[in-house]
Amino acid sequence: MTKPDQVYTTFIRTSPEKLWEAITNPEFTRQYWAGNANISDWKKGSKWEHSGETGTVHVFGTVEEVIPLKRLVLSWVNPSDLNDVSRVTFEMIPLNDTVQLNVVHGDFQVGSSMPDSVSKGWPKVLSGMKSYLESGIGLNIWRDTGGNSLQCAG
């Protein structure tokens, strides 16, 4: 039995343009996603990767759908298990001076460890993104209480 989709909704005081940049600009993603960058040309069919400053690829996939400022759909592959493929959809809905961001992570493979992994990662990523967009300061939530860096799971 496959696991159900995970849905994360947050409201961010920002513009669709800034939110799009926060998701697709490598320099921007490093500010809130544990120093990691999302790298691609963001065209349908292109490859994308989520990698660290040392070049370690944590997740990669293919850009499946692109509607700039509105919707981005990516396949999501675990590099340590190439059969562990899922799908992430970012949907942006402008609401006055706010944007509603819906992130849906689903299409998990039977037996995948990805649902458990990303359920810990997405809340941190989205909280960090919201904080950075609204205040210019990212959250230091990628360290444990002993000061050790945590694995970026999503």
| Rounded-to-integer distance, Cα 99 and Cα 116, Å | 27
Asked whether residue 153 carries a pLDDT value surpassing 90, the answer given is no
The model's pTM is 0.89
Burial readout 73-94 (b: 16 or more C-beta within 10 A, e: otherwise): bbbbbbeeeeebbbbbbbebee
Q: What is the CATH number of domain 6-135?
A: 3.30.530.20
Beta strand 71-78 pairing with 81-95? antiparallel
So where are the chain's domains? 6-135
Own/partner long-range contacts of 39-48 (Cβ < 8 Å, ≥24 apart): 42/66, 42/68, 42/72, 48/74
For 56-65, write each residue's pLDDT tens digit: 999 999 999 9
| Cβ count near 42 (within 10 Å) | 17
| Rounded-to-integer distance, Cα 105 and Cα 100, Å | 16
Asked whether residue 150 carries a pLDDT value surpassing 50, the answer given is no
CB-based burial label for 4 (10 Å; 0-12, 13-18, 19+): exposed
For 76-117, write each residue's pLDDT tens digit: 998 999 999 999 999 999 999 999 999 999 999 988 889 998
| Rounded-to-integer distance, Cα 27 and Cα 108, Å | 29
